[in-house]
Structure 1
C-alpha cells in the first residue's frame, strides 16, 4: 500500500536556505541566529571570552549584523572601528579583506571572507551555544 498524504502527526518545517534571507535590509531571525552561532564558535576558538572587547570593522550590513550578534552571544563587547582607528583594549576583531589593509596589526583580525575562515565557518555547528561551549574558553 502506498501512502501519498502527509501523516497528521508530522510537523512540516520550512525549508532551510543556504544563505540568510535579507529582505529590505532585514535578516530572518532564525538565519541570523544560526549564522551568529557559527561565528561565535570561531571567536571562541580564537580565545574570545565574556567581557572582552572585540573590534568590528565590517561595512556590509548583513555581515555587520551577524558579527555583532556573534560577539554578544559570547558575552563580549562589540566595538565599532572607523577606518584606521585603534580600539583600546580590543585584542580580537572581525573584518573583511577589503578593510583589512587599513587596520592595525595590534588586533588579531578574523577576516570573514578569507578562504580559511570560510572553510572553518561552513563546518562549524549552527546549534545554539551551550554553557559548556562558553566555559570551554574560560
Structure 2
C-alpha cells in the first residue's frame, strides 16, 4: 500500500486532473491513500502530520529539498524492496515552507524529486507519476523507455 500525506488541497484544476489520471493508473498496481491536511504554520502542520503517522507501518519518506535524489529505476527498486519488507510506503509533502524538523526526524528517508523546488501541487503530481512509473518498471510494462 502507498500513502501520501500532503499539506494543502489541489486548487489548480488541470494539475488535479493529471494527478487523478496517475492515481487511477497506479490503482492497477497498488492501493493508494491520500491524506490532505489543512495548511498552517510549519509547526502546526508538523503536529498534524505526526498525528497521522502515529501507528503507521512502512517506510516513511519526507519530501525535502536536501533529500536524496535518484533515477526512476533506482526509485522503483527501492520502492519494491521497501514494500516487500513492510507492506507500505508513506510519502509526506509539506506546505510552502517545507516540513518541520520533527517530521524530518520521524522519516526513514529524506527524498527529493529534484534539486528544484516545486509547489505542493506539482510535487504531488510528479510524485504520483513517478510512483506509477516505478510500479510500471517493476511490472515490466512499456511505460518507461530507456
TM-score by length of 1: 0.34
Name the structure where helix makes up a greater proportion of residues: 2
Task: State the structure with more CA Rg.
Answer: 1
